Amino acid sequence: MKKAIVMDSISKLPDEFSIDEIIERLIIIEKIEKGRQQIKDGKVNTEEQAKAKLGKWLS
């Protein structure tokens, strides 16, 4: 995670906020960055692959 992204996220918070709010934002940012990296690395499923995996869970 880059410091600039964290600082930008903090600057967008209201003057008063809870620790839980900033932690939640940072977790979301981290997950988005991880997902973007997975896309760059080609670690993605096609729609058909996703449906097949969901089908196993839902049956």
Each residue's pLDDT tens digit, 1-57: 889 998 999 999 999 999 999 999 999 999 999 999 999 999 999 999 999 989 888
Give CA angle at 12 (20, 1), nearest 5°. 70
Write out the residue range of the structural domain in which residue 20 sits: 3-58
Q: How many CB atoms lie within 10 A of CB 6?
A: 15
Q: What is the 3-state secondary structure (H, E, C) of the chain?
A: CCHHHHHHHHHCCCCCCCHHHHHHHHHHHHHHHHHHHHHHCCCCCCHHHHHHHHHHHHC
What pLDDT shows up at residue 58? 85
Q: What is the pTM of this model?
A: 0.68
Domain count, the chain: 1
